C-alpha cells in the first residue's frame, strides 16, 4: 500500500501519518529528510522526534531517497517518509537540475515495486499566492509536479485540513 498525505503547514499531516503507521502493528522505519540548518529548524526536528514512538528506527536521508527506500524495503514493514517537500528543497539547494530530475525519476521508478507499506508526507504549497522570486516559484512548480506523479502512483491520497483527514483517493 502506498499512501500520500498532503496538507499545509500545521495541518496535522505528520501526526496522522504516524497514527496510520502505528496502527499497522508492523515494524516502522521513519525516514527524515530535514536538515537542521538553523536553530528554528533544529527545534522543529526535536519536536518531531519527541512525538514519534521511541521504538521506531530513524533514518536520515536528504538527497538519495529512492536508493534508501530500496535498501529499507521489506515485507511487513512500514516506511514513513517525512517530508517530501523538505527532500525537494534539499535537491533544489544542490543547484543541479540533472540531479533533481534523476532523483525524482528514481523515486517514481522505485515506488511501484516496494513491498513495504509506504506513507509519504508532503506540504501542499500550490494553494497560496504566486511567489515573488524565481526559486520560490520553481519550488511550487516542482512540488506540484511531484505530487501529481505520486498521487497517480499511490493507492491512497489524503489531504489534511485543520487536523482532519480528507480522503482524495
DSSP label of 150: H
User: How far is Cα 64 from Cα 57, in angstroms, rounded to an integer?
Assistant: 18
Going through 12-167 in order, the beta strands assigned E by DSSP cover: 27-32, 57-60, 77-82, 117-123, 156-161, 164-167
pLDDT of residue 121: 98
Average pLDDT of each block of 10 consecutive residues along the chain (169 residues)? 95 96 96 81 73 87 97 97 96 96 98 98 90 92 97 98 97
What is the grid cell recorded at 115?
513491498
Q: How many domains does the chain have?
A: 1
* Residue 43 DSSP SS3: helix
pLDDT of residue 126: 85
DSSP string, 54-97: TTSEEEE-SS-HHHHHHHH--TTEEEEEE-HHHHHHHHHHTT-H
Q: What are phi and psi of 16, to 5 degrees?
A: -65, -45
pLDDT of residue 65: 98
User: How far is Cα 28 from Cα 62, in angstroms, rounded to an integer?
Assistant: 19
Query: Any residues with CB less than 8 A from the CB of 132 and at least 6 apart, and which?
Result: none
Residue-range definition of the domain harbouring residue 87:
2-167
Active site residue 48: yes
What is the grid cell recorded at 136?
520560490
165: closest CA among 12, 8, 51? 12
Which CATH number do you get for residue 23?
3.40.50.300
Catalytic residue among 48, 55, 64, 147: 48
What is the grid cell recorded at 34?
530535514
Amino acid at each position: 500500500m502506498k499512501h500520500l498525505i498532503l496538507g499545509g503547514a500545521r495541518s496535522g499531516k505528520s501526526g496522522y501519518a504516524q497514527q496510520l503507521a502505528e496502527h499497522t502493528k508492523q515494524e516502522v522505519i521513519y525516514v527524515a529528510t530535514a536538515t537542521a540548518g538553523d536553530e528554528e529548524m533544529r527545534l522543529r526536528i526535536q519536536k518531531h522526534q519527541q512525538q514519534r514512538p521511541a521504538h521506531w528506527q530513524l533514518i536520515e536521508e536528504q538527497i538519495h531517497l529512492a536508493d534508501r527506500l530500496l535498501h529499507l524495503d521489506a515485507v511487513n514493514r512500514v516506511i514513513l517518509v517525512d517530508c517530501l517537500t523538505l527532500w525537494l528543497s534539499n535537491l533544489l539547494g544542490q543547484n543541479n537540475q540533472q540531479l533533481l530530475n534523476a532523483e525524482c525519476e528514481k523515486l517514481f521508478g522505485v515506488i511501484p515495486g516496494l513491498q513495504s507499506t509506504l506513507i509519504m508526507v508532503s506540504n501542499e504549497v500550490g494553494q497560496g499566492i504566486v511567489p515573488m522570486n524565481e526559486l520560490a516559484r520553481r519550488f511550487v512548480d516542482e512540488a506540484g509536479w511531484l505530487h501529481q506523479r505520486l498521487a497517480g502512483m499511490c493507492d491512497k491520497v489524503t489531504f489534511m485540513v485543520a487536523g482532519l483527514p480528507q480522503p482524495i483517493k
